[in-house]
């Protein structure tokens, strides 16, 4: 019999803004190509970078996805004024998140969350 995992200790991917469980990132077609990500019920979007080597591109993709693909709007957004962000280590095999400062394991994958304060 498996011991019960406390909800506050469960590392399965959850939205950092509302704590809802997240779906596994999937391929999403955008105006500029495809991204690996998803959208939470609270309106936050997330984009995964499985290698952790394209964080800048993933960050811009998350902003553009949050703004419905309108690059002119996303380029004018300022963090902490119009949106909030969060970055985590991400293990795509287990769909688990870890704080970047967590040294227990060094996942190379990253996941970026963006939540607009109000719609673009």
Instruction: Locate the domains of the chain by residue range.
Output: 7-116
The two tokens of residue 7 are 């909800």
Terminal-to-terminal C-alpha distance of the chain: 49
CA distance 88 to 113: 8
8 A C-beta contact, residue 105 and residue 98: yes
The pTM of this model reads 0.83
CA distance 33 to 3: 44
The two tokens of residue 22 are 């997240």
Q: What is the pLDDT along the chain (120 residues), one digit of tens a residue?
A: 444 444 445 568 899 999 999 999 999 998 878 999 999 999 999 999 998 888 899 999 999 999 988 888 877 887 778 899 999 999 888 899 887 765 455 567 999 999 998 765
Helix or strand (DSSP H, E) at 64: helix 55-66
């Amino acid at each position: 019999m498996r011991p019960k995992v406390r909800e506050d200790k469960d590392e399965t991917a959850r939205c950092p803004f509302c704590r809802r469980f997240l779906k596994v990132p999937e391929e999403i077609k955008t105006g500029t190509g495809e991204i690996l990500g998803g959208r939470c019920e609270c309106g936050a979007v997330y984009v995964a970078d499985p290698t952790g080597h394209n964080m800048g591109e993933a960050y811009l993709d998350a902003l553009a996805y949050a703004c419905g693909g309108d690059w002119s709007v996303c380029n004018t957004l300022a963090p902490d004024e119009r949106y909030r962000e969060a970055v985590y280590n991400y293990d795509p095999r287990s769909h688990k998140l870890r704080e970047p400062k967590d040294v227990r394991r060094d996942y190379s994958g990253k996941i970026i969350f963006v939540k607009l304060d109000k719609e673009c």
